[in-house]
Amino acid sequence: MPTRPNPKKLNPLQCRTLAILQQCARTPGFAESPDEAGGVLLLGMPRPHGDHFHLGDALIHARDATGLRNASVLNAMVRKGLVRVHPSGRPVLTPEGLAYDTGVAAQILHRADH
């Protein structure tokens, strides 16, 4: 049986935010190595300059990243088991959050062709 797209029923803002958090987890300097449970502690969030920011090999428009500073979005992802909160208050992507196919990464993570 094929897996259903978006099984956690994330809304579009939550999908975009999770895709950006996944990119943070893959980018050196923005995340620690996985812990014993497989979660990845995010060390910081990118800061936009102008209408975009760079995260590893991706360019992201600031308009797609409004959920990064929205506590309701993070709380929804915590409730759905995709993120947990570290004692420091920083987000930790769970193994499920790291592997979740948001379906929007190709649209919001713009990569250079060179």
- Please check whether residue 3 lies inside any domain of the structure: no
Domain span at residue 105? Answer: 12-111
Pick the residue with more confidence: 47 or 77? 77
* Helix, coil or strand: residue 97: helix
Kindly give, in sequence order, each residue whose CB lies less than 8 Å from that of residue 61, ignoring residues fewer than 6 positions away.
51, 52, 108, 110
Q: How many domains does the chain have?
A: 1
The CATH number assigned to the domain holding 57 equals 1.10.10
- Please give the model's pTM, rounded to 2 decimal places: 0.92
Name the burial class of residue 28, with classes exposed (0-12), middle (13-18) and buried (19+) by CB atoms within 10 angstroms of its CB: exposed
Interval 6-56: pLDDT, tens: 899 999 999 999 999 999 999 999 999 999 999 999 998 877 888 999 999
Separation between Cα atoms, residue 55 and residue 46, nearest integer Å? 7
